[in-house]
């Protein structure tokens, strides 16, 4: 489980714990306040009741005193008198106690009672012990005065007691009102606090979710930056880092690593013809198969498109790299099932080894790429180890490209024309335009030395356009002569020109510009172009045929084209490759092969041209085999337009049109 996932699991527990703590805390506070309030509520009435009862006891005693004095006045016995004195002392003590007890806590006005009764008791006690004026302490007169004083004091105390009761009720009412208010405020405050807490917790959760989402998208961004979204394999950036790390480790441990560069052989065709969904599915399945063919520790990545790399670290032997490459090729040679369609792809692999071939990531990637192209050149579905010569070739390639661009602008390109003759009567039936490069230093360069590079770099699009315009323009001179009715100008067209936008419109523009008639133009295309099975090319070729332009398959027999293509494409001429012609007079198998091609072509209503006819034997034999036309050094080498002009000026017998 990733660290991120673990964090995602832990965080909610922390939040829930926080909520529980807050909830318990708030509840605790509420319970505490409630309890305190109850205590206050209960304590006050008890206190009031005690004060009230103390005062009531005092007033009762005062009542007793009044009755006792009254009784003692009539009784006149010393015993009764002593009882009155004792009661007076008792009341005095009681008064002192009340005064002390409620000195600081006089809620009900005990001091008022004290103030009323104390002087009376003081007087009565004095009179009863010292006597009154000239009366004896226990005389009837003294007792009478004392009784009157006691009665008045008692009555006043009674009135005060009533006030005390009212005060007690007022105090309790006020107190309970205050407590009620306090309780309400407290409950409102705590409720608000609780709501705020819940709000904060919810906010916290939401913030946390936002943080998680941000974290997640950050992870995703990081993932996207490092991994290919289609295959989930490391991407170029990530792979380069792996490679650099492995190289650094290697320097330390003095080990060896190999880098495999894999490119699918038929991906583009599958992608173009079946669509991107099929292409994507193929890439996914290829990724899975490559991973199955390597060790756990090897790093497989997708650089983009149909390019994959494998990093083999800790290699002890180069053989190991070739075993892995072979395993991958075997895996990829098996058919792929794409949405119910069975397709074959195959791959080419380039291998480079460090430290022998290079010590940095960029060099190794470049080497492996070069080796991969070499593997493709060797006929695909194979692997090649990088060699130093490949670097030289790459350098030459770049140099050539630069020079060719200059040649195009500096008029270094020229066109030679090679005549094509009817074999049975030697009449001139056409010419093939062949490109030449008059290099200022290197002299004349033939197309085989530069066309391939121009095709790879794409410069052939401009060169091809130039050839079409130039050849048509130069050939215009011959049209004034009395030519063979089927006379044609053949021009080689590279597949790349179609991809670069050669179509009906562009060809019409050239023909309009030069004035060359479409029905005298024959375009030579290769077998590989037919194999490409590109609907657009097929459409363009049909357009050309509609315009009256003829089409020939050049170098027939060297490619792997299925014969069915000849029926499907609107071609009308087959040019049998020179390699079949060159030993036709000595090799019976070649002769039979050429014979078969000719009869098959005629069966399909196609005209045949033999290329590279170098001897009269070949010329005679081809004529016997029924080949229609021939082109070769035996008849004429490629020459300048002026030479052809001379040839066309000779009236040629008209026998057969192409």
Identity of the residue, 147 or 611, whose beta carbon is nearer to ligand C2E in the bound complex = 611
Q: Which is nearer to ligand C2E, 124 or 489 (CB)?
A: 489
Q: Which does 614 bind (CB under 5 to 8 A by kind): ligand C2E, Mg ion, none?
A: ligand C2E
- Which CB sits closer to ligand C2E, 216 or 449? 449
Number of residues lying near Mg ion (CB under 5 A) = 5
Residue 214's contacts (CB-CB under 8 Å, 6 or more residues apart) are none
x/- track of binding to Mg ion for residues 314-353 (CB under 5 A): ----------------------------------------
Given Mg ion, ligand C2E, none, residue 451, with its beta carbon under 5 to 8 Å by kind, binds ligand C2E
Which residues lie near ligand C2E (CB under 6 A)?
A: 418, 434-435, 446-448, 451, 464, 467, 492, 494, 524, 554-555, 578, 611-614, 631-633, 638
Closest to Mg ion by CB, 84 or 495: 495
**CA-CA distance, 474 to 514, in Å (whole number)?**
9
Across-strand partners of 438? Answer: 444
SS3 (DSSP) at 592: helix
Q: Whole-number minimum distance, CB 506 to Mg ion, in Å?
A: 20
The residues facing 568 across adjacent strands are none
Q: Which does 632 bind (CB under 5 to 8 A by kind): Mg ion, ligand C2E, none?
A: ligand C2E
Q: Is 473:514 a contact under the CB 8 Å cutoff?
A: yes
Among Mg ion, ligand C2E, none, residue 446 binds (CB under 5-8 Å by kind): ligand C2E
Q: Residue with structure tokens 């990531």?
A: 361
The closest of 401, 396, 402 to 370, measured between CA atoms, is 396
Query: Cβ of residue 218: shortest distance to Mg ion, in angstroms?
Result: 60
517 binds, among ligand C2E, Mg ion, none (CB under 5 to 8 A by kind): none
Question: Could you tell me which of 586, 635, 583 has the C-alpha nearest to residue 609?
Answer: 635
Query: Least separation, in Å, of the C-beta of 480 and Mg ion?
Result: 26
Dihedral of CA atoms 598, 604, 607, 610 in degrees, nearest 10, equals -30
User: Which residue, chain included where needed, has tokens 């103030």?
Assistant: 115
Least separation, in Å, of the C-beta of 494 and ligand C2E? 4
Query: Of the candidates 506, 482, 573, 568, which has an alpha carbon nearest to the alpha carbon of residue 533?
Result: 568
Q: If you write DSSP's letter for every residue of 107-162 in order, what string do you get?
A: SS-HHHHHHHHHHHHHHHHHHHHH-BTTB-TTSHHHHHHHHHHHHHHHHHHHHHHH
As given in the structure block, the two tokens for residue 352 are 């480079």
Binding-residue pattern over the window 553 to 582 for Mg ion, x denoting contact by CB under 5 A: -xx---------------------------
* Nearest distance, CB of residue 616 and ligand C2E, angstroms: 12
Site string for Mg ion, 594-633 (x = CB under 5 A): -----------------x----------------------
Question: Minimum Å distance from CB 496 to ligand C2E?
Answer: 8
Give the residues across from 432 on adjacent strands: 418, 490
Degrees (nearest 5) of the Cα angle 111, 112, 118?
Answer: 80
CB of 307 to ligand C2E, least distance (A): 27
The minimum distance between CB 524 and Mg ion, in angstroms, equals 4
Question: Residue 618: which of Mg ion, ligand C2E, none does it interact with, CB under 5 to 8 A by kind?
Answer: none
Does position 61 interact with Mg ion (CB under 5 A)? The reply is no
CB 247, min distance to ligand C2E, A: 42
Phi, psi (deg, nearest 5) at residue 378: -80, 10
- Is 524 a binder of Mg ion (CB under 5 A)? yes
Bridge partners (DSSP) of residue 581 are none
Q: What does the block give as tokens for 618? A: 């070949």
> Which of ligand C2E, Mg ion, none sits in contact with 467, Cβ below 5 to 8 A by type?
ligand C2E
Size of the chain, expressed as the number of residues it contains:
658
Q: What's the min distance (Å) between Cβ of 612 and ligand C2E?
A: 4
> Sign of dihedral through CA atoms 593, 598, 603, 605?
positive
- Helices then strands, counting H and E runs in the chain, come out as 21, 16
CB 88 within 8 A of CB 125: yes
Partner interacting with residue 448 (select from Mg ion, ligand C2E, none; CB below 5-8 Å by kind):
ligand C2E
Which listed residue (382, 418, 492, 497) binds Mg ion by CB under 5 A? Answer: 492
Interacting span for Mg ion (CB under 5 A) from 230-238, 495-503, 548-556, 616-624: 548-556
DSSP β-bridge partners for residue 607:
573
- From 189-197, 281-289, 496-504, 551-559, span contacting Mg ion (CB under 5 A): 551-559
Instruction: Pull the structure tokens for residue 218.
Output: 């950050």
By the criterion CB under 5 A, which residues form the site for Mg ion? 492, 524, 554-555, 611
């Amino acid at each position: 489980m990733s660290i991120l996932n673990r964090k995602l699991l832990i965080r909610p527990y922390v939040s829930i714990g926080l909520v529980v703590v807050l909830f318990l805390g708030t509840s605790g506070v509420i319970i505490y306040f409630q309890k305190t309030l109850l205590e206050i509520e209960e304590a006050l009435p008890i206190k009031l009741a005690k004060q009230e009862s103390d005062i009531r006891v005092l007033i009762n005693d005062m009542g007793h005193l009044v009755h006792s004095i009254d009784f003692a006045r009539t009784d006149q016995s010393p015993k009764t008198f002593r009882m009155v004195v004792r009661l007076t002392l008792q009341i005095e003590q009681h008064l002192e106690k009340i005064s002390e007890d409620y000195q600081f806590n006089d809620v009900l006005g005990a001091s008022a009672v004290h103030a009323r009764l104390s002087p009376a008791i003081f007087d009565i006690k004095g009179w009863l012990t010292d006597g009154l004026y000239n009366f004896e302490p226990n005389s009837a007169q003294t007792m009478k005065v004392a009784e009157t004083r006691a009665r008045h004091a008692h009555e006043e105390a009674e009135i005060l007691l009533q006030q005390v009761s009212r005060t007690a009720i007022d105090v309790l009412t006020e107190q309970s009102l205050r407590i009620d208010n306090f309780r309400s405020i407290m409950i409102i405050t705590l409720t608000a606090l609780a709501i705020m807490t819940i709000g904060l917790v919810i906010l916290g959760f939401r913030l946390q979710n936002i943080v998680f989402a941000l974290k997640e998208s950050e992870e995703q961004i990081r993932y996207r930056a490092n991994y290919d979204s289609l295959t989930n394999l490391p991407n170029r950036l990530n792979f380069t880092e792996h490679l650099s790390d492995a190289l650094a480790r290697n320097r330390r441990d003095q080990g060896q690593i190999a880098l495999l560069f894999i490119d699918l052989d038929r991906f583009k065709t599958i992608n173009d013809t079946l669509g991107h969904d099929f292409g994507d599915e193929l890439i996914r399945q290829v990724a899975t198969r490559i991973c199955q063919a390597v060790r756990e520790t090897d790093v497989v990545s997708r650089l983009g498109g149909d390019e994959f790399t494998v990093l083999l670290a800790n290699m002890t032997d180069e053989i190991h790299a070739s075993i892995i490459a072979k395993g991958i090729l075997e895996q990829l040679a098996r058919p792929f099932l794409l949405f119910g369609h069975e397709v074959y792809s195959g791959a080419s692999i380039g291998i480079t080894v460090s430290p022998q071939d290079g010590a940095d990531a960029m060099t190794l990637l470049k080497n492996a790429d070069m080796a991969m192209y070499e593997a493709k050149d060797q006929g695909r579905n194979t692997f090649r180890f990088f060699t130093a010569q490949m670097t030289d070739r790459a350098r030459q390639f770049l140099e050539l490209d630069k020079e060719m661009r200059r040649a195009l602008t500096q008029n270094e390109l020229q066109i030679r024309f090679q005549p094509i003759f009817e074999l049975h009567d030697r009449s001139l039936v056409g010419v093939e335009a062949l490109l030449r490069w008059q290099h200022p230093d290197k002299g004349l360069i033939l197309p085989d030395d530069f066309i391939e590079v121009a095709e790879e770099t794409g410069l052939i699009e401009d060169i091809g356009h130039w050839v079409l315009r130039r050849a048509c323009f130069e050939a215009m001179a011959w049209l004034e002569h009395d030519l063979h009715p089927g006379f044609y100008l053949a021009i080689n067209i590279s597949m790349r020109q179609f991809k670069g936008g050669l179509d009906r419109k562009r060809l019409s523009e050239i023909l309009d510009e030069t004035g060359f008639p479409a029905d005298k133009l024959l375009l030579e295309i290769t077998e590989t172009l037919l194999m490409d099975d590109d609907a657009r090319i097929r459409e363009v070729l049909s357009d050309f045929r509609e315009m009256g332009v003829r089409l020939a398959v050049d170098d027939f027999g060297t490619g792997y084209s299925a014969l069915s293509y000849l029926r499907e494409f609107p071609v009308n001429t087959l040019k049998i490759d020179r390699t079949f012609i060159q030993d036709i007079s000595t090799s019976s198998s070649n002769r039979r092969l050429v014979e078969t091609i000719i009869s098959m072509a005629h069966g399909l209503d196609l005209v045949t041209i033999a290329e590279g006819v170098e001897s009269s034997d070949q010329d005679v034999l081809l004529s016997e085999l029924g080949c229609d036309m021939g082109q070769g050094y035996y008849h004429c080498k490629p020459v300048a337009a002026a030479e052809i002009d001379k040839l066309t000026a000779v009236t040629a017998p008209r026998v057969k049109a192409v």
